[in-house]
Amino acid sequence: GLDNATAESFDAMFNVFVRAPFFVVQAALSRLSSGGRVINVSSGFATRPSPMASMYSMAKGSINVFTHSLAIELGPRGITANAVAPGWTRTDMNAAVRDNADIVKAIEADTALGRFGEPSEIANVVAFLASDEGRWVTGQVIEASGGYKL
């Protein structure tokens, strides 16, 4: 949370979730041709922040704005830019939450589909955006959360 944040933890968070995606995209631009795709990973926390995840929410919100900016900048080159914003997904990143039965029960109660997502379900959204069928989609942050907190 905010009370425990340090300059070091802030820098580490933004290095991983903001700086790295920015420079990866920059490096990839010379290799992307018309019809190319940029697909960033955001989070549901970017639009529904938690008091204990303020830095993470800020970082992922930055990815949303970056994605919108990229869509405008890269559109004339025929390159789409989108982001996928996963909700609660069974990954090692949230193992502490995933392994707490009370928290899992509360999250599942707040999710329209009543469960955590699977990594493959997030990958399917990414695959759509990368496919020919996704060529008309740009500048979007697509939430894949099973209807969390609707």
Residues classed as catalytic: 56
Beginning with the edge strand found earlier in the chain, give each strand of the sheet holding 141-144 in spatial order.
Answer: 37-41, 80-86, 141-144
CA–CA dist 94, 5 (Å, integer)? 19
| Cα–Cα distance for residue pair 58/75, rounded to 1 Å | 26
Task: Give residues with Cβ within 8 angstroms of 62, minimum separation 6.
Answer: 14, 17, 18
Look at residues 143, 87, 84, 83 and name the one whose alpha carbon lies nearest to residue 115: 87
Cα–Cα distances (Å) from 116 to 1, 32, 135, 141, 148, in that order, read: 24, 34, 29, 20, 9
Q: Which residues pair with 80 in a beta bridge?
A: 37
